[in-house]
Structure 1
Amino acid sequence: MSGRQRTLFQTWGSSISRSAGAPGCNSGPERPQSPGISRAHFPPAAEAAEAQPESDDDVLLVAVYEAERQLSLENGGFCTSAGSLWIYPTNCPVRDYQLHMARTSLFCNTLVCLPTGLGKTFIAAVVMYNFYRWFPSGKVVFMAPTKPLVTQQIEACYRVMGIPQSHMAEMTGSTQAITRKEIWRSRRVLFLTPQVMVNDLSRGACPAAEIKCLVIDEAHKALGNYAYCQVVRELVKYTNHFRILALSATPGSDIKAVQQVITNLRIGQIELRSEDSPDILPYSHERRVEKLVVPLGEELAAVQKAYIQVLEVFASSLIQRNVLMRRDIPNLTKYQIILARDQFRKNPSPNIVGIQQGIIEGEFAICISLYHGYELLQQMGMRSLYFFLCGIMDGTKGMTRAKNELSRNEDFMKLYNHLECMFAQTRGTSANGFSTTQKGVKDKKFFYSHPKLKKLEEVVVEHFTSWNTQNTSEKKCDETRVMIFSSFRDSVQEIAEMLLQHQPLIRVMTFVGHASGKSMKGFTQKEQLEVVKQFRSGGYNTLVSTCVGEEGLDIGEVDLIICFDAQKSPIRLVQRMGRTGRKRQGRIVVILAEGREERTYNQSQSNKRSIYKAISGNRQVLHFYQGSPRMVPDGINPELHKMFITCGVYEPEKPRNLQRKSSHFSYKNGK
């Protein structure tokens, strides 16, 4: 028997005999899939079969049977033989901070906050594996917010601890309900989205009382009535005897949000590390963050001035009615107007009744839309503003009243016609969702609708040119990757069109979410995974992405990250920054428009520092859950056992060949 088999065998306790007449020792087709199946489920032929010690699976099944035989209902299904140890893998270099976080997470509901690329999934895999061992009849669940993340994490966890694939399963909304019910019955380690979990709990398909460990990825999302919160609320109706491990690159956008996550997920302790924490510095590569502030320029400033005149007409009406208190119209935000509308709805003036109330609601709706356009203009440029306004004026957004009111405003129509002269041609879309004027017309002069675009172009071209100069390899620019983030699809498309002029130096591809818009078709899950695969393998060297590319997906090593817009929430920036600096030094460039966007970015950075200081310095600011269950029975204190685990080859479901008709910005094989 190999060293690995002996070690794994020993972890189940010395009382297990290889020659025990235990079920499941034959290698025939009747071997059960789940170690959680009781003895009564085994066929008589299996009970009579002799043990074959040379089979690793047979040894494991003997061990599982023996462990289950020793189970006591008083201990909630805890196996005392397996529970004398907790296993930590040495097949990856042992890092003290990961070991410490894994140990903590085994014995208390924990929120692990680690910068991206420093091993949150590794810690989760270790914790999941030990609960899988300790509770042979229990279920272990890993939840991630998106289907591609679910697919990625099941493979990542397998590569760490090697839980047999026959015991694991991935479930999504596209998996039929009857199939999911059978998977819940027969498999023990489940990877799924929280929406699927909520549905299966409500239908009774999920054996809630059998869940012993619940891992929650991207846990900062656990706010309000998000599906993560619903899952935990439903589970505690059936049992309190399960461990929660929450994972995130950052705990929340502010202290209030962090407290919400703690409360909603019943967190008893936070394990927080930042880029500057001493114990992770040896394992993290330097990430240089550069802030480039770009003046608006004369043309954009003139459009902004004309747009403010339109804003003044509609915002002034609300100010005069005393339902909008702030009077600094150029510095108002969409969010402030939404808050004012909510306040108006809660406490309407007794003088405003009937039709007047409807008029004010309509004016609020117009102002919210106009201020959204204002933010687009400042952050993304004139083209994004024009595309947004087109949606109002051509009726596709369904805002009939706004369309009529704006049509009667002379200043607005003058501005709208001016933008139409500049961008009407670029709005023409082909059947595949991309601009017909740009398709195949490389020599057409690109119009820079925001000075930030020119700066972005300079940074990207300079990166690839400099890389080629410094590296003598034939592949050159195939060996470096660039990722660009922009919050809106119209901007993503505009950036890609601009960079398309520089092929073959720059081979660009867009990356967006599932939903389809008028100007760009959404990506299915398989298409998203295919784009990520080609980006990692060098089919493209530049990826322009919306926020769908921020969270979790392993897009490989990226040397340059460019953020084309500022984010109010520090979570978004932390997620974006995590895409680089994993294996070598990384560079992050944040391109900001002078004025409001620069102030937003500075405030976001200040918020991030405040959160980390509050959590690390004075933990009394936060109120932690005091009822974390003791999953290990009294009197048992599992000892650390380090062992080398050899994982097999992960066999994913074979993806179908994708011929993406809507992917105009692809550049394959240098052609």
Structure 2
Amino acid sequence: MISSTPRDYQKAIFETAKNANTLVVLPTGVGKTLIALLLAIHRFQQYPTKKILILAPTKPLVEQHLESFKKQLPELYADLQLFTGEVPAKQRQKIWQTAEIIFSTPQCIANDIKNYLYDLKDISLLVIDEAHRCLKNYDYTKVVKAYKNQAPSELQRILGLTASPGSETEQVNEICKHLNIEEVELRTRNSEDVRPYLQDLEFNKIEVPFPEEFIEIRTILKSIYDKKVGQLKSRNLLFGPTNKISLLKLQNKLFASPHKDGNMLAGISVCAQAIKISHAIELLESQTLSGLKEYLQNLVIQAEQKKSKGVQTLVNSPEFKASLLSLNNLLSQKIEHPKVEELKTIIESEFEKNKNTKIIVFSQFRETALTISKKLNEISDVKSEIFIGQTKKSGSSGSSSGLSQKEQKRVIEDFRKGKINILCATSIGEEGLDIPEVSAVFFYEPIPSAIRKIQRAGRTARLAPGKLFILITKDTRDQISHYASAAREKKMYRTIDKVKNDIKDGKVNFQSRPKTLDDFR
């Protein structure tokens, strides 16, 4: 029936998913889509007059799933239709009547259901890609809720796919509850039935010293930060150890308060200033000086436009002016973060060994991606481009203002054809997109998120041996992020195992419907 031969672990997971709502946790690039395809065929044969709905969070991912199904299935096997915001709602309503397998973003389906254009009573299978997003008020949860309410219980089958559902038991339980999960199928690179299909992954931790020339700027920024944190504590708004996360939580709490007195309003302003300086320190420690310059310069522009009194207070302080002066002095001497040069040196070496090398460099911020791409294009044989999201950021211009989905497609296609051999990507390169396999993946900075680490690393060592390089600035938050990520990944596997065992032992039940005979067939 299909053109690919399923692997043993795909067959095993499919057998589970046939009989139960299943959350599948598999590393990026080991064939989650094929499991969805096998289950779609099974349900289509079982319920030939019903529909199958496959959801993914972005239009490129939805299109990718559609193309994957088209490649695998015989021509005219079923009426496959694409739903995105570009298809008018009335047209979607008309197409829905005859479509058999629908590929859509959750936003489209959620809006159409809300407007009563159609219902989900005839859906025999609901596939949720990137299922770790199935939390709180994201549109996935609205669609799943409608499905559970509208489709007969004997027709319902849900398949959730993710590289990582998170490391907190509460979060994994919430995902499972939304999806009515009855079984969890977890595989890692080291699982016995997965390992034979993957290649060796060589891990390299590259540590660079925090430059002495940067210490003056960090000291100045830290003094501003400490002063702002001190003000929040003296106002009895902040307690205990402080970091960016605790400040963001405080900011949300203050904004959410229905009764804001003068103390709270002042606190909102001071908290915002502290967050901005914390971000500036992060850019200095782990990103690029040019990125820090752009960020501080944007704050100056905001102050000149008088958009915020807090920003004006910050920018007009002697310490802020001193940090900007010191930064401009370093940039005038062509000094940049040592990671940039280290990255260039390693990549030069990789291309000397193999001129056909393909690489992805992941970075947290698009300004960093732009700086890296420019630097790498100085290497002969290197053809680098940035791969970033669509959103135009305030204060951004030129290449850092975002790529349209059409431009994103073009970049991936050029990368596939070899017109580009290095992608400098932000988080858009992490989730699911059909980016060709690469020889090496570089993390310009460690990320504390286990989900994102797994997604990034999954871009290499599938069909050929691969390398993973993580660049870390010593004595900075880079080191904290690196160890946090490793700890969270271990915790994630423990959490998933616990949830899986709790389901098996009957300690938890995520079902909102009683089991029927069909569940046991």
- Is TM-score (shorter-chain normalized) higher than 0.5? yes
Partner of 1:6: none
Partner of 2:339: 452
How far apart in 2 are the matches of 1:631 and 1:588?
47
Alpha-carbon distance change, 368 to 253 in structure 1, aligned in 2, over 3 angstroms: same
Please list the CA deviations of residues 250-293 of structure 1 after superposition, one character each: whole Å capped at 9, or x if unmatched: 22243222112111222111100011111111111111222212
Moved over 6 A (4+): 345-348
How far apart in 2 are the matches of 1:354 and 1:347?
10
Report whether the alignment pairs 1:391 with 2:298: yes
Query: Which of 379, 387, 410 matches 1:530?
Result: 410
Partner of 1:403: 311
SS of alignment partner, residue 516 of structure 1: coil
Say whether the 8 Å CA contact 1:510–1:544 is kept in structure 2: yes
Query: Which of 90, 113, 129 matches 1:178?
Result: 90
Say whether the 8 Å CA contact 1:300–1:382 is kept in structure 2: no
Which amino acid in 2 is paired with 1:207? D
Say whether the 8 Å CA contact 2:254–2:268 is kept in structure 1: no
Q: CA deviation at 1:235?
A: 2.2
Report whether the alignment pairs 1:142 with 2:18: no
Partner of 1:547: 427
Query: Which of 201, 221, 232 matches 1:307?
Result: 221
Partner of 1:506: 382
How far apart in 2 are the matches of 1:302 and 1:491?
22
Report whether the alignment pairs 1:248 with 2:248: no
How far apart in 1 are the matches of 2:459 and 2:216?
37
Partner of 1:266: 180
Partner of 1:557: 437
Please list the CA deviations of residues 4-59 of structure 1 after superposition, one character each: whole Å capped at 9, or x if unmatched: xxxxxxxxxxxxxxxxxxxxxxxxxxxxxxxxxxxxxxxxxxxxxxxxxxxxxxxx
SS of alignment partner, residue 209 of structure 1: coil
How far apart in 2 are the matches of 1:453 and 1:285?
29
How far apart in 1 are the matches of 2:134 and 2:369?
28
TM-score (norm 2): 0.92
More helix by share: 2
Alpha-carbon distance change, 626 to 234 in structure 1, aligned in 2, over 3 angstroms: closer
Say whether the 8 Å CA contact 2:220–2:322 is kept in structure 1: no
SS of alignment partner, residue 207 of structure 1: coil
Larger radius of gyration: 1
How far apart in 2 are the matches of 1:394 and 1:415?
16
How far apart in 2 are the matches of 1:133 and 1:356?
65
How far apart in 1 are the matches of 2:240 and 2:337?
29
Q: CA deviation at 1:105?
A: 0.7
TM-score (norm 1): 0.72
Alpha-carbon distance change, 509 to 403 in structure 1, aligned in 2, over 3 angstroms: same
Q: CA deviation at 1:531?
A: 0.9
Q: How does 1:229-628 map to 2 (within 5 A)?
A: 229-239=141-151, 240=153, 241-326=155-240, 332-342=242-252, 354-395=261-302, 399-422=307-330, 447-467=334-354, 477=355, 479-503=356-380, 505-517=381-393, 518-519=396-397, 520-595=400-475, 596-616=477-497, 619-620=500-501, 623-627=508-512
Say whether the 8 Å CA contact 2:200–2:461 is kept in structure 1: yes
Say whether the 8 Å CA contact 2:439–2:465 is kept in structure 1: yes
* Structure 1: gaps of 5 or more residues: 1-88, 425-444, 468-476, 638-671
Say whether the 8 Å CA contact 2:2–2:73 is kept in structure 1: no
How far apart in 1 are the matches of 2:34 and 2:499?
28
Please list the CA deviations of residues 439-471 of structure 1 after superposition, one character each: whole Å capped at 9, or x if unmatched: xxxxxx9x452111121111111111111xxxx
Say whether the 8 Å CA contact 1:243–1:628 is kept in structure 2: no
Greater shift, 270-279 or 129-138, is seen at 129-138
Alpha-carbon distance change, 627 to 507 in structure 1, aligned in 2, over 3 angstroms: same
How far apart in 1 are the matches of 2:480 and 2:177?
31
How far apart in 1 are the matches of 2:128 and 2:89?
22
How far apart in 1 are the matches of 2:74 and 2:114?
31
Which amino acid in 2 is paired with 1:358? L
Say whether the 8 Å CA contact 1:115–1:249 is kept in structure 2: yes
Which amino acid in 2 is paired with 1:380? Q
- Percent of residue pairs bearing the same amino acid type: 29
Say whether the 8 Å CA contact 2:299–2:315 is kept in structure 1: no
Say whether the 8 Å CA contact 2:22–2:183 is kept in structure 1: yes
Please list the CA deviations of residues 92-138 of structure 1 after superposition, one character each: whole Å capped at 9, or x if unmatched: 33422111111111111001111122111000001011111211221
SS of alignment partner, residue 302 of structure 2: coil
Say whether the 8 Å CA contact 2:131–2:161 is kept in structure 1: yes
Which amino acid in 1 is paired with 2:377? L
Say whether the 8 Å CA contact 1:486–1:492 is kept in structure 2: yes
Please list the CA deviations of residues 200-236 of structure 1 after superposition, one character each: whole Å capped at 9, or x if unmatched: 1111223311111100111111122111111112222
* Structure 2: gaps of 5 or more residues: none
Say whether the 8 Å CA contact 1:499–1:508 is kept in structure 2: yes
Say whether the 8 Å CA contact 2:235–2:263 is kept in structure 1: no
Which amino acid in 2 is paired with 1:277? S
How far apart in 2 are the matches of 1:102 and 1:341?
45
Which amino acid in 2 is paired with 1:419? L
Partner of 1:200: 112
SS of alignment partner, residue 127 of structure 2: strand
Partner of 1:210: 122
Say whether the 8 Å CA contact 1:507–1:540 is kept in structure 2: yes
Greater shift, 370-379 or 146-155, is seen at 370-379
SS of alignment partner, residue 282 of structure 1: helix
